[in-house]
Structure 1
Amino acid sequence: MSFFGKMFGGKKEEAPSTSEAIQKLRETETMLVKKQEYLESRIELELGIARKNGTKNKRAALQALKRKKRYEKQLQQIDGTLSTIEMQREALESANTNTAVLTTMKNAADALKAAHKNMDVDQVHDMMDDIAEQQDVAREISDAISNPVAFGQDIDDEDLERELEELEQEELDKELLGVGGPSTELPEVPTEEIKSKEKEKEKKKEVAAPSDPDMDPAMKELMAWAE
């Protein structure tokens, strides 16, 4: 049986959790700090007694200094104990944090494993191929529905182009020949102005014509041409 087992009656107790151990250490720290404060006040008190009786009662002054030395030794021991407890508490807090982190990570790993339990990589690839295939089928169906094959789509576009070119050529021919519209009609000839000019020309011929009947015919023709 171990020393601690003998000290605590040999009864094996279940180890406390890290949270419980940390709480106990904090309580112990609080108690030791209060003990420190008490010892510091006793040291000041005994020091005051020694000063007061230094010249009057030497024996009382020495006793006070002895008590002060004991209090200082206890205070030193408490300082060491507090340092040990503080390091132990920090180690437990770190272990508690690590335990919580590892527990969370394990839970996440278990959840991920459960999520992938009924999934297989090959099955996922097959499913994605099926989705792509169905999308292609849906696209072909949509194209077929939007293309009205049964509603006059058997007409040849080239025939329509040729017919349109023929119509355009006919319109162009009409424009060139001056047929088919008010814009191609020729302007009316001013007949009154022409008649007036012919009369003036005849008068000039009568004035310019020589009265001599014996004039050479060639000369007459030349004079007529000059007019």
Structure 2
Amino acid sequence: MFTRIFRKPKQEESAVATLDKLNETLEMLYKKEKVLMKKAAAEVEKAKEFTRAKNKRAAIQCLKRKRLYEQQIEQLGNFQLRIHDQMIMLEGAKATTETVDALRTGAAAMKAMQKATNIDDVDKTMDEINEQTESMKQIQEALSTPMGAAADFDEDELEAELEELEGAELDELLLQPGTTAPAAPVPMRAGRQPVRPARQNNTAEEDELAALQAEMAL
């Protein structure tokens, strides 16, 4: 365990240091490449001057040195490609290592959680919750049960009293003077007058209502 703890930072430091070294080397190669390109361009200018001066031998020597510089530039380009390749591989390996470490850490955490959470403990906890719920229901039922004077009331007597109140209210409604709702207007054809209801029918209904009220009063 301690080996893993101390090994991981050292590996990361080594990878970071290697990447820094490769970047420094790559920067140095870029600088040398620029210098060689300037020297090659200078040899070309010298060759032009010697050509104008009819000094063919000196011009050829300048072109030879230019070729040497170009060979070195090409070699530096190959070095740069190799360093880039190695940097890409190293960065990929570093990302892979970090991913594997993260997955390993997650697996260890899940394993520890599974050990800490046993199925028997879960069942025990659920049983305790069910017992507490049942106890709470019993307490609520006990609190809602009537006690004292309220417990002595007879439900049948209360229902009979309620029926008497309903009957008395119905009697009061019947004793009130009745009102007849106006009849809905009947559409009539043009040229015809509406026929008024017979007075005799209204008088008979009023007599029946009066007799009913007198009987209820007795």
Contact map agreement 1:19 1:96 (CA 8 A) in 2: no
In our comparison, the structure showing a higher alpha carbon Rg is 1
2:116 to 118, 127, 130: 118
1:41 to 38, 43, 46: 38
1:160 alignment counterpart: 158
Please report how far the alpha carbon of residue 60 of structure 1 lies from its aligned counterpart in structure 2 after TM superposition: 1.4
1:52 alignment counterpart: 49
1:68 alignment counterpart: 66
Report percent identity of matched pairs.
36
Partner letter of residue 47 of structure 2?
A
Residue 26 in structure 1 maps to residue 65 in structure 2: no
Partner letter of residue 111 of structure 2?
K
Please report how far the alpha carbon of residue 91 of structure 1 lies from its aligned counterpart in structure 2 after TM superposition: 1.0
CA distance in 1 between counterparts of 2:107 and 2:149 reads 61
Correspondence 1:174-189 to 2 at 5 A: 177-178=216-217
Please report how far the alpha carbon of residue 93 of structure 1 lies from its aligned counterpart in structure 2 after TM superposition: 0.8
Between stretches 74-83 and 144-153, larger displacement belongs to 144-153
Partner letter of residue 50 of structure 1?
A
The alignment's C-alpha RMSD in Å is: 2.7
CA distance in 1 between counterparts of 2:130 and 2:121 reads 14
Residues 70 and 17 (structure 1), Cα distance of their counterparts in 2 relative to 1, 3 Å cut: same
From the two aligned structures, give the one with the greater helix fraction.
Answer: 2
| 1:67-93 per-position Cα deviation (integer Å, ceiling 9, x unaligned) | 100110111111111111101101111
2:186 alignment counterpart: none
Partner letter of residue 134 of structure 1?
Q
Please report how far the alpha carbon of residue 63 of structure 1 lies from its aligned counterpart in structure 2 after TM superposition: 1.0
Matched position secondary structure for 2:116: coil
Contact map agreement 1:49 1:64 (CA 8 A) in 2: yes
Residues 54 and 168 (structure 1), Cα distance of their counterparts in 2 relative to 1, 3 Å cut: closer
Please report how far the alpha carbon of residue 150 of structure 1 lies from its aligned counterpart in structure 2 after TM superposition: 4.3
Matched position secondary structure for 2:150: coil
Please report how far the alpha carbon of residue 118 of structure 1 lies from its aligned counterpart in structure 2 after TM superposition: 2.6
Instruction: Please list every run of 5 or more consecutive structure 2 residues that lacks an aligned counterpart in the other structure.
Output: 1-9, 176-212
Residues 160 and 70 (structure 1), Cα distance of their counterparts in 2 relative to 1, 3 Å cut: same
Partner letter of residue 31 of structure 2?
K
TM-score (norm 1): 0.64
Please report how far the alpha carbon of residue 168 of structure 1 lies from its aligned counterpart in structure 2 after TM superposition: 4.7
Residues 151 and 106 (structure 1), Cα distance of their counterparts in 2 relative to 1, 3 Å cut: farther
Residues 168 and 74 (structure 1), Cα distance of their counterparts in 2 relative to 1, 3 Å cut: closer
Partner letter of residue 140 of structure 1?
Q
Residues 168 and 113 (structure 1), Cα distance of their counterparts in 2 relative to 1, 3 Å cut: closer
Matched position secondary structure for 1:53: helix
CA distance in 2 between counterparts of 1:162 and 1:128 reads 48
1:91 alignment counterpart: 89
Please report how far the alpha carbon of residue 20 of structure 1 lies from its aligned counterpart in structure 2 after TM superposition: 1.6
1:100 alignment counterpart: 98
